[in-house]
A and B are shown apart, each in its own frame.
Chain A
Amino acid sequence: MTELTALTLAEARDGLVAGDFSARELTQSYVTAMETATELNAYIVDTPEQAFSMADAADARLKDGTAKAMTGIPLAIKDLFCTRDVHSCSASHILNGFQPQYESTVTQNLWDDGAVMLGKVNMDEFAMGSSNETSYYGPVRNPWKASGSEKELVPGGSSGGSSAAVAAEIAVAATGTDTGGSIRQPAAFTGTVGLKPTYGRCSRWGIIAFASSLDQAGPITRTVRDAAIMLESMASFDPKDTTSVDCPVPNYEAALTGDIRGLKVGIPKEYHADGVPEDIEKIWKQGIEWLKDAGAEVVDISLPHTKYALPTYYIVAPAEASSNLARYDGVKYGLRVTGESLDDMYALTRAEGFGDEVKRRILIGTYVLSAGYYDAYYLKAQKVRSLIARDFANAYEKVDVILTPTAPSAAFALGEKSSDPLEMYLNDIFTVPASLAGLPGISVPAGLSQDGLPLGLQLIGRAFDEETVLKVGGVLESAAQFSAKPAKWWGAK
């Protein structure tokens, strides 16, 4: 029999329903695998006791016929989802010891459907980063290494613990969040599938906020089918989040028909960015051919404001972050550093509790929102953001979905880009535009670089048209036949 940890979510679901193995057995195989993978530093906290009790409850549901698709599926949960009585710190020291007294809507939806929590996974502090190197809990190591190299690589970020856990088969799937690419880029770096839904599709309630007009939860999985199954469970209308949208959650798995004949796929010329390696251009061309072969019509389009997306993002996101992170003051939860006065306490607590990147963004955000600069920076950025959204709206008059690379490179080495914030920001060049426009996007593993590292292709869809994104993603996946797995270098003791 295949090792249980090698099964996809859909296969695990089918095996559980058929009674080939129990949820407890499946969970046990993951708990064992997690113990041998600690050097990846993907998990911040393991919750085996909770996992087994949830698995037993799942087995009861499987017996009495009340099981759902996610029943008995062991998951890794990104540390910024509030999970009752369990470590939820957004990988920041300032939330030291925080154990929420409530459950986020997304995780509650998953538990209601019978999923199993294996633990909380690492991430960039407050989701601010593209390499998982800003975590208070240390960097995550990518399970992948370049061929013939021992160099440790980053798993992408901010959902780096999530992507590494799925790639290393120490979780069937994982929750992630995406503000400017934090689901899609780590998925591309680890040969996994990452789906950022439309803004408003998943409730943000109980997700520790970074930039509220951009943050959106989504799944990181092994296959497109898995992403469809998991999104259906995560998504809901939630009165507790005023930006969650009241529209029915479709059966996403049913959208995977494989039939994209006549569908119009847009190829934006602005995504041929300078300095993008040949590997990336090549895989993009290959993706275009695959979709043509499947009967789609390829249309050249223009998204003229693409180059302004990143500067827009680096005003809007820090501005919202500086406001959201004002709540960490040493009074209500987490770290407190006492000083001579109350004001001192605030300033000392925040100095010690936040890491360098988070501080930098709070300072930038505070500056662009401060009196005299608001119009020049923040208001200007929000206007350009309208133009970026308009570019997409114009494109969707001609096409049904847009195909681009996910990231401008394959996974890079630990420490390679951490000294230059701007260079790190450029990682999100292809993912940020869809974030600013609130559109759904998926990254699908499409092939390997010359160095043997995974490369992803991104599909961006119309608002609330995750079905088309998934359908075309499924076709790309079948054409790519991406079956490579990282050579297991961890746990060999």
Chain B
Amino acid sequence: MSVDKNTVAKIAHLARIKVPDASLEPLVGELNNILDFVEQLNEVNTDNVAPMTSVVAATMVLRDDDITAGDCRDEVLANAPAAEHGFFAVPKVIE
């Protein structure tokens, strides 16, 4: 499988990365090189092989249902590029 210019433009949109038209063509080549490289996995017979879901065999532990964090609005907002009235501020989305 390989990608073309339109596909790259589509994935760039899905990833919310603005890619100028002039940069699409070089990306097609770069991404296809990587996709060609990973293609070799098709040689491997994976019938009846379960996909890995956990690297180390461990049981998920349940924690007590206690509030352990919170009441830290100012810390949460401390690094925001824009904050107003105790909220993150973004460009207007509703007319």
A interface, CB within 8 angstroms of B: 97-102, 198-200, 213-214, 239, 242-243, 245-246, 305, 307-308, 310-312, 314-315, 322, 326, 329-336, 338-339, 341-348, 350-351, 354, 359-360, 362-364, 366-367, 370, 373, 376-377, 379-387, 389, 421-422, 425, 437-438, 463-464
Contacts and interface: CB of A to CB of B under 8 A. Distances in A.
A99 B80 CA distance: 11
A305 B40 CA distance: 12
Contacts of B7: 367
Interface string B28-47: 00110111011111111010
B81 interface: yes
Contacts of A242: 60-61
Contacts of A373: 1
Given A362-B15, A387-B46, A331 B90 contact: yes
A336 B79 CA distance: 11
B29 to A, nearest CB: 11
Contact of A364 (B31, B79, B90): B31
B51 A98 contact: no
Given A331-B88, A364-B31, A383 B46 contact: yes
Contact of A334 (B12, B63, B79, B93): B79
Nearest to A420: B33
Contacts of B78: 99, 101
Contacts of B72: 101
Given A350-B15, A350-B18, A331 B55 contact: no
A354 B37 contact: no
A382 B51 contact: yes
Given A345-B91, A385-B51, A389-B52, A351 B41 contact: no
Contacts of A425: 37
A373 B39 CA distance: 12
A351 B19 contact: yes
10 contacts: A314-B34, A322-B15, A331-B81, A336-B81, A336-B82, A347-B17, A350-B18, A363-B17, A367-B31, A382-B52
Nearest to B50: A386
Contact of B38 (A200, A315, A322, A338): A315
Contacts of A335: 81
Nearest to A322: B15
B67 interface: no
A213 B55 contact: yes
B90 A342 contact: yes
A273 to B, nearest CB: 15
B55 A245 contact: no
Contacts of B30: 360, 421
Contacts of A331: 80-81, 88, 90
A380 B41 contact: yes
Nearest 6 A/B pairs, CB to CB = A438-B55, A382-B51, A336-B81, A333-B79, A101-B75, A383-B46
Interface in B44-95: 44, 46, 49-53, 55-56, 58, 60-61, 63, 72, 75-76, 78-82, 88, 90-91, 93
B41 A422 contact: no
A384 B33 contact: no
B17 A312 contact: no
A419 to B, nearest CB: 11
B82 to A, nearest CB: 7
Interface string B3-22: 10001100111111111000
